[in-house]
Amino acid sequence: LVDDMLLIARLDQGRPLETKPVDLQAIARDAVDDARAVAPQREITLNASAPVVVAGDDTRLRQVLGNLVRNALVHTPARTPIEVAVTTEDSVARMSVADHGPGLPPDAAQRIFEPFYRADPSRSRDSGGAGLGLSI
C-alpha cells in the first residue's frame, strides 16, 4: 500500500517517462508467467505472435499490465479464463487483458481508475486491496 501511494505521488509530480525501445510481447509474456506462478490453476493465455517494439517506459508498462492481470485474477471467479494480448493495427500497438467475469455496473466502470475506488467494498476485504492498482 505504501509503495503504491508513493508511486502515485511520484506520478502526480509529472516525472518524465524513461522512454526507450520496449518489447510489448516480452512484457506480456512476463505478466502471464507471473500470473501463472501465482494462480497455477487458472487458465491464462497469451496471444502475442511476434515481438512488438515501441518507445515506452518499461517499468511503468510492466506495472500497468501487471495491475490489470492481478485485477482480473482477484475479481473474477476461479474458473474464468484470462486472456492477455499484444496486437498491432495501422501502426498502433495495443496490450489488453480480457476476462469473461461478471463485469462492472456502468456507474462503477466510470470510476474504476480513481484512487481508492472499490466497485464492491465487501469483496475488497478478501482481496486485501486498497483500491490503488488500477489508478496507477
The tens digit of pLDDT for each residue in 1-49 reads 455 555 555 555 666 778 999 999 999 999 999 999 999 999 999 999 8
131 DSSP 8-state letter: S
Residue type at 35? A
53 phi/psi in degrees, rounded to 5: -100, 130
Beta bridge partners of 20: 56
Which set of grid coordinates corresponds to residue 129? 486491496
Q: What is the reported pTM?
A: 0.72
Q: For residue 119, count CB atoms less than 10 angstroms from its CB and return exposed for 0-12, middle for 13-18, buried for 19 or more.
A: middle
**Please, what are the domains in the chain?**
2-135 (3.30.565.10)
Radius of gyration of the chain (CA): 15
The tens digit of pLDDT for each residue in 80-134 reads 999 999 999 999 999 999 988 776 766 766 666 666 565 555 444 454 554 444 5
Helix axes 24-38, 58-74, angle to 10 degrees: 40
